[in-house]
């Protein structure tokens, strides 16, 4: 770039040289570096422009205009190159961010409802087919709904049947994560006068250490029938009808005496072991039966808690695990997989 202050031909050389060097830049950083070399304070051009001060007025104007024209041209070349390099950089960014959707080609795997949700839907369908309504209640409950109204006054020993998670809300130990769906029975009886034929599915919580047969958040489905003249036989028949409808005609139910504070008498109901078909295997401890849930005739104290006359109304209730049903019907050895959401498993079930 010698002779920058010289004549027109020198200017042309200067511009041509700048053009070639600008065209050779490969990145925006290169270009910025070159730009200050060509046009910055220490550039040949700037030095030449500064040196004009010594010239006569006439010569100063003439050379000054020429050098300014050179500067303008180089600036334009640089701007053009910058726009181009920016476009390249943008295209590179887009290419890097691009999602590879080629996996989706062919027949895509569409996904489906989770097994627990499907089981819940199927159970609801079975009961709706038997004339039951479906109701829901909150997962955060007061002690009154979860225990007291279910015939468990404060300090009642049966409260120990549930490992309860308390919430740090209000007075200590007054608000819980519901340990079962039974409190929804209370809410339903408060909301609707009998006759009541309803199932109440939903999530429950217990302070349990997870293992193959227990998970601390699980799902239950509660059943409640309140009407005139309801008997234990109605309950046994309802449970048997549900069992064959859901598990198939080879699976039956039986009742064994048990205790729950909210029912009297109470029972546990068992169904034919789905693994061995009743012959006896390890899963059912060689009994041929697997326990599914609890049931019984609604205790008069529970009817009293919601202001129903037990001379006029009677009923039965039951409750069992939805996850347990899914586990049995699909022969899932470990319940924890229902919470882990491993896609490889979800695809199979
Ligand atoms: N709530 C009980 C539990 O979580 C299950 C149960 C037993 C529900 C008897 C009922 C019942 O409605 O009558 O273990």
CA-based torsion, 274, 298, 215, 137: positive or negative? positive
- What's the CA angle centered on 225, arms 221 and 231, to 5 degrees? 125
> Do 69 and 176 share a domain, yes or no?
no
Kindly report the backbone phi and psi dihedral angles of residue 347, in degrees, each rounded to the nearest multiple of 5, phi listed first.
-65, -30
Query: Does residue 110 lie in a domain region?
Result: no
Of the three residues 97, 123, 143, the one that is the final residue of a domain is: 97
> Do 82 and 150 share a domain, yes or no?
no
Ligand 1 mean position, distance from CA 268 (Å): 9
Of the three residues 65, 97, 129, the one that is the final residue of a domain is: 97
The reply to whether ligand 1 has any atom less than 6 angstroms from the CB of 260 is: yes
Q: How far apart are CA 97 and CA 94, in angstroms?
A: 5
pLDDT (tens digit per residue) in 203-245: 999 999 998 888 999 999 999 999 999 999 999 999 999 999 9
The reply to whether ligand 1 has any atom less than 6 angstroms from the CB of 182 is: yes
Nearest to 221 by CA among 323, 328, 301, 306: 323
With a threshold of 0.75, does the pTM exceed it?
A: no
User: Is 132 within 8 Å of 197 (Cβ atoms)?
Assistant: yes
pLDDT (tens digit per residue) in 286-315: 999 999 999 999 999 999 999 999 999 999
The reply to whether ligand 1 has any atom less than 6 angstroms from the CB of 194 is: no
> Do 93 and 123 share a domain, yes or no?
no
The pair of structure tokens assigned to 127 is 């009961």
Per-residue model confidence (pLDDT) at position 120: 97
Query: Does residue 2 lie in a domain region?
Result: no
Report the b/e string of 5-20 with b at 16+ CB within 10 A: beeeebbeebbeebbe
> Do 248 and 125 share a domain, yes or no?
yes
Kindly report the backbone phi and psi dihedral angles of residue 31, in degrees, each rounded to the nearest multiple of 5, phi listed first.
-65, -45
The reply to whether ligand 1 has any atom less than 6 angstroms from the CB of 164 is: no
The pair of structure tokens assigned to 116 is 């627990």
CA-224 nearest atom, ligand 1: 12
Query: Does residue 123 lie in a domain region?
Result: yes
Q: How far apart are CA 308 and CA 141, in angstroms?
A: 22
**Residue 168, CA atoms < 13 Å, CB-side half-sphere:** 0
CA-204 nearest atom, ligand 1: 4
Q: Could you report how far apart the first and last alpha carbons of the chain are, in Å?
A: 76
Total number of domains constituting the chain: 2
Query: Does residue 109 lie in a domain region?
Result: no
Tell whether the model's pLDDT for residue 322 goes beyond 70.
yes
Average pLDDT over residues 6-19: 82
Best residue for ligand 1 mutational test, from 149, 294, 323 (most atoms within 8 Å of Cβ): 294
User: Is 202 within 8 Å of 139 (Cβ atoms)?
Assistant: yes
Which residue segment(s) compose the domain that 200 sits in? 115-348
Q: How far apart are CA 40 and CA 38, in angstroms?
A: 6
The reply to whether ligand 1 has any atom less than 6 angstroms from the CB of 247 is: no
Of the three residues 31, 63, 97, the one that is the final residue of a domain is: 97
CA-222 nearest atom, ligand 1: 12
Nearest residue by C-alpha to atom 10 in ligand 1: 318
Q: Where are the beta strands (DSSP E) in the chain?
A: 133-134, 140-142, 165-166, 175-177, 196-205, 217-227, 253-260, 263-272, 289-298, 314-321
Using the structure block, give the residue that is written with the tokens 């109901």: 269
> Do 23 and 139 share a domain, yes or no?
no
pLDDT (tens digit per residue) in 136-195: 999 999 999 999 999 999 999 999 999 999 999 999 999 999 999 999 999 999 999 999
> Do 73 and 219 share a domain, yes or no?
no
Query: Does residue 260 lie in a domain region?
Result: yes
Which strand (E) or helix (H) includes residue 111?
none
CA distances from 254 to 250, 261, 286 (A): 13, 21, 16
Classify 155 as helix, strand or coil.
Answer: coil
Query: Does residue 245 lie in a domain region?
Result: yes
> Do 139 and 19 share a domain, yes or no?
no
Residue percentage of the chain with pLDDT more than 90: 75
Ligand 1 mean position, distance from CA 220 (Å): 9
Per-residue model confidence (pLDDT) at position 241: 96
> Do 91 and 205 share a domain, yes or no?
no
CATH number at residue 316: 3.30.930.10
């Amino acid at each position: 770039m010698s002779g920058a202050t010289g004549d027109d031909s020198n200017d042309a050389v200067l511009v041509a040289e700048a053009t070639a060097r600008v065209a050779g830049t490969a990145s925006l950083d290169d270009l910025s570096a070159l730009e200050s070399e060509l046009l910055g304070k220490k550039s040949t051009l700037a030095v030449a422009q500064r040196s004009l001060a010594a010239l006569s007025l006439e010569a100063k104007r003439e050379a000054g205009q020429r050098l300014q024209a050179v500067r303008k041209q180089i600036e334009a070349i640089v701007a053009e190159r910058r726009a181009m390099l920016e476009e390249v950089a943008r295209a590179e960014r887009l290419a890097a961010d691009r999602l590879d959707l080629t996996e989706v080609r062919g027949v895509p795997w569409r996904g489906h409802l989770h097994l627990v949700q499907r089981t819940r839907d199927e159970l609801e369908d079975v009961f709706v087919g038997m004339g039951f309504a479906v109701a829901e209640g909150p997962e955060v409950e007061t002690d009154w709904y979860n225990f007291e109204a279910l015939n468990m006054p404060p300090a009642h020993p049966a409260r120990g049947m549930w490992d309860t998670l308390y919430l740090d809300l209000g007075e200590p130990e007054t608000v819980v994560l519901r340990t079962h769906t039974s409190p929804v029975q209370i809410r339903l009886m408060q909301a609707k006068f009998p006759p009541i034929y309803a199932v109440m599915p939903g999530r429950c919580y217990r302070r349990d250490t997870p293992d193959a047969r227990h998970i601390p958040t699980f799902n239950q489905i509660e059943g409640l029938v309140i009407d005139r003249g309801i008997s234990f036989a109605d309950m046994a028949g309802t449970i048997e009808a549900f069992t064959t409808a859901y598990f198939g005609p080879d699976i039956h139910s039986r009742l064994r005496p048990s205790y729950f504070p909210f029912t009297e008498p109470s029972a546990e109901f068992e169904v034919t072991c789905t693994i061995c078909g009743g012959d006896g295997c390890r899963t059912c401890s060689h009994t041929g039966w697997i326990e599914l849930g609890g049931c019984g005739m609604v205790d008069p104290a529970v009817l009293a808690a919601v202001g129903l006359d037990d001379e006029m109304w009677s009923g039965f209730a039951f409750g069992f695990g939805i996850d347990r049903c899914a586990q049995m019907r699909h022969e899932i050895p470990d319940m924890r997989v229902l919470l882990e959401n491993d896609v490889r498993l979800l695809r199979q079930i």
